[in-house]
Chain A
Amino acid sequence: MASDKAFWQWIEERAAAKAQLKADRRKLLKGAGAGALLAAGSRLAATPAVAKQEAPRFDGVTLRVFTQTGPFISGPVKFHAPEFQEQYGAVVEAIEAPNADLFARAQQVAQTGSGDFDILLLANTWMPDFVNLEYVIPLQPLIDADMDDELLAWDDIPDGIKRKNSWAGQTYTYIVDNDNQTMFYRKDILSDPQWQEAFNAATGKDLPNPPQTLTDFVEVAKFFSPNGGGAAWSDAGTGYGFITCVLRGQQSYWYSYPWTAPYSVLPTDVAPDGTPGIYIFDPDMNPLINTEGYVRGLTEFVDVIQGAMKPGLDADRATVIEDIINGTTLMSLDWGDTGPASVAERSVVKNKLGFAQTPGVTEYYDWMNKTWVTMPEGEIHQTPTHAYNGWSYYITSQTPNVEAAWEWIKFAGSPGISAVDVASPDSGYQPWRKSHATNLEAWLDAGWDEAEAEAYISTILAATDHPNAVFDPRLPGAARYQETLELYTNQAIAGALTPQAAMDQCFADFNSITDELGRDDQIAAYRAHLGMSS
């Protein structure tokens, strides 16, 4: 029958388009053929009789998305814009600025009213500042209206992400990139009996695979470096045990989070009101950075840099990733980007990387009672740190196109599109949806083994919902606190000040910033971030 024939024809066309899409996607993830993917994608979307409701049209509307200079973060915006335009009619533009000046620029625009951004794709931690400037609108009403929207897929979003998206009981952001820190290590080396023996011979201990505590981590890192005698592990040149970012202005202080947080953050069951993630400030906005716990973490961080990292002190983020995937460094504690980069063409560590939570500690510092607490035998206190929290979409209050903006956000963050983005090493986005753990098509196309991809994604997601998860504080003036902390952390790393001296000065600066911004307001804002009642 005619309708049958048409039906089967349609099935065939869709299958062909899907196959083409797969092939093109493979090419895309290998770094070429983007145009073909676009064409294939639109072919898929254009096939008729798809059981999806007609997308609302916004012809003539231009959405301006403000974000950092590409190709990372802004790349996916520009890439998906044509598809969005085809389906919804609105043009999406990316307005870029240098990363270091992003907040300044957004603030300038907010306060002077010049520039006309509809959507922001910026740091999650700037939420309170934007709210105080009345520059962003709450997203909850839009979410509530679209609870059943499959593009929104509300249930597919983990609780940790939902918590990161809200402040003061209201949702202001839509995260599309899960920023937390993971341990990357060469599991092939750590499981190699030859090296296990060598380590045992040198230190008398078993080689942990991977290290569970920071102290162990330092020991392992130092051993596998030139000074420790085990540097021959790398067949790509002199091996080093550890790499991190130390360059000023390159977010070096965020790299100290996995070191300082475990020592200074109370376990959730011990913390006041059972609040997780009390970090950097206590609930009354007293800085915790110069407490014994934090300083000990910082000291170990400086120690491992000096003892297990290649000399030069000019490593930036790219180096942290490159030195793992070019096979010269054993371990790092970094945002997730190293994962997708490990399957890039230039990588020599494909399928050799292990992924785990950042190391914990066996004793932590209780800042309430001013005493060190030892964990029970065999237990480790872990605090996965969510440095930066994640690039997030905001809708500005100045935009006349709220509906169109929301449609873009749903579209860009939809399960299908986001799955492709988080698998690509060129997007800068890390997995954040629950379905990212199961929708592995894009990962396989990129060259991952299924088991590896699952391990990687589940590690990232596990950090999100961890009971002790530490989120980056969302405070008014967050940018100023961040800059101050960066300055002093950098001085400690550079050896210009001892960690304690640096943090003492930071303590003073933090307090003056807090006083300048209004201590009571800051306390209320911080408690809102923590989810504590004021």
Chain B
Amino acid sequence: MTTAQPAVAVQAPPAAAHRRTADGNAKYIFLLPAMTYLLILGVFPLLFSLRLVFGAWNAGQKNITWVGLDNIQRLLADSRFWDSFWKTLAFVALAAGLELLLGLAVALALQNVTRGKDWMRVAFAFPMLLPPIAVSFTWKMLFDYNRGPVNYFLENLGLDRVAWLAGQQSALVSLVVVDLWQWTPFIVLAALAALESLPIELYEAATVDGASRWDLLWQITLPLVQPYLVAIVLLRAIDAFKVFDTIYILTGGGPGTATEMLTFYAYVAGFRPFNMGFTATISWAIVIIMSIIFFLFLRAFRRLEEA
């Protein structure tokens, strides 16, 4: 009895033990390079920049000096920063929200047609792949007050010309339009994927039960894709926070400071005048803000899922 057990105990492990030891190293060798890479080039520099949050490296200085809480105090007291914060929130909400609606609409439309679906999907995906700098120049031309086609079309439709790049609010709208043009395809593709993953049996069953198309849409489709959509919108919102290239080209932050979003504000008020400490402070503020929003969103999302 006692001799038989050890025999069994010894026999079963070899295959498993072999895999475990083989895996043992592989587990780390596969994972660690990527992780180390991101630690070195992502986390470490971020922590290094903490030194600059409490320090200063300005024009004419040779070395980094210590200034304690000065940068933070300056930032918190800076109304331009807080303006930028609210503007960025507004921009992100507007952009992500509109992209969601439009993207979903286009995806639903795509699902509904039979001809040309494939090449339409590819054509619609173009904007996502183009350099934002080039896209911004294109829209700068389109939005030109006197010579741009957008105002030309508006006039021909009997509407007033809009000062796209020069009005306080319209400049923000212009940014949203450009972002919309470039990134709605992202939502379209994701929504399309989600829609196509829905089991067709549900629809068949519902139609048999006498549901109309409208019912199908509202009662089945939308609730089922909602979790996917929330995740996608969250991703899009995070990216929208980082908007920079478009502002650089389209408005330069103007008129006045109307389109100074957070990243651009950090660049133009901190990096360009060689105020490295202040730039680091603003950057850390951005990281904190984004993290808070991200986690808030996640919490709401999880709660939604449980409901």
A residues near B (Cβ < 8 Å) are 100-101, 103-104, 107-108, 111, 129, 132-133, 246-250, 310-314, 476-477, 479-480, 483, 487, 490-491, 493-494, 496-497, 516
Contact = CB atoms under 8 A, between A and B. Distances in A.
Q: Describe A's contact surface by its main secondary structure.
A: helix
B267 to A, nearest CB: 9
Given A250-B252, A310-B146, A314-B166, A487 B273 contact: no
A491 B164 CA distance: 16
A482 to B, nearest CB: 10
A249 B254 contact: yes
Given A101-B272, A311-B161, A312-B163, A476 B256 contact: no
Contact of A132 (B60, B164, B168, B254): B60
Contact of B255 (A103, A476, A477, A494): A494
A100 B62 CA distance: 24
B203 interface: no
Interface in B42-88: 58-62
Contacts of B61: 111
A272 to B, nearest CB: 28
Interface string B165-178: 11110000000000
Q: Point out which of A132, A246, A250, A494 has the most chain B C-beta atoms below 10 A from its C-beta.
A: A494
B219 to A, nearest CB: 48
Contact of B60 (A133, A313, A487): A133
B103 interface: no
B254 A479 contact: no
A312 B145 contact: yes
A129 B60 contact: yes
B221 interface: no
12 contacts: A101-B272, A104-B271, A129-B59, A247-B254, A249-B251, A250-B252, A312-B145, A312-B161, A313-B255, A314-B166, A490-B254, A494-B255
Nearest to A107: B274
Given A312-B166, A479-B273, A494-B168, A248 B253 contact: yes
Contacts of B254: 247-249, 490, 494
Contacts of A310: 146
Contacts of A477: 59
Contacts of B59: 107, 111, 129, 133, 476-477, 480
Contacts of A476: 59-60
Given A313-B167, A494-B254, 13 more contacts: A104-B272, A104-B273, A104-B274, A111-B274, A129-B59, A246-B166, A247-B255, A249-B252, A250-B252, A310-B146, A311-B145, A314-B164, A314-B165
Nearest to B254: A248
Contacts of B255: 246-248, 313, 490-491, 493-494, 496
A491 B146 contact: no
Interface in B156-193: 161, 163-168
B245 interface: no
Contacts of A491: 255-257
A314 B145 contact: yes
A494 B257 CA distance: 10
A39 B123 CA distance: 49
Contacts of B144: 314
A493 B166 CA distance: 10
Nearest to A516: B58
Interface in B243-294: 251-258, 268, 271-274
A496 B256 contact: yes
B252 A247 contact: yes
B79 to A, nearest CB: 10
A311 B163 CA distance: 8
Contacts of A497: 256
Nearest to A129: B59
Interface in B133-164: 144-146, 161, 163-164
A244 to B, nearest CB: 13
Contacts of B145: 311-314
Contacts of A483: 268, 272-273
Nearest to A250: B252
A248 B273 contact: no
A310 B166 CA distance: 13
Contacts of B167: 313
Enumerate the 9 nearest inter-chain pairs by beta-carbon distance, A residue then B residue, closest first: A248-B254, A249-B252, A312-B145, A313-B166, A491-B256, A494-B255, A314-B166, A104-B272, A496-B256
Contacts of B62: 111
A248 B272 contact: no
A247 B166 contact: yes
Contacts of B146: 310, 312
A108 B252 CA distance: 21
Contacts of B257: 487, 491
Contacts of B253: 248-249
Given A312-B166, A313-B167, A314-B163, A248 B256 contact: yes
B274 A248 contact: no
A103 B165 CA distance: 26
A491 B80 CA distance: 13
A483 B254 CA distance: 12
A100 B252 contact: yes
Nearest to B257: A487
A490 B161 contact: no
A320 to B, nearest CB: 13
A103 to B, nearest CB: 8
A133 B274 CA distance: 13
Nearest to A486: B254
Contacts of B256: 248, 487, 490-491, 494, 496-497
B265 to A, nearest CB: 11
A525 to B, nearest CB: 12
A106 to B, nearest CB: 10
B60 to A, nearest CB: 5
B62 to A, nearest CB: 8
A304 to B, nearest CB: 17
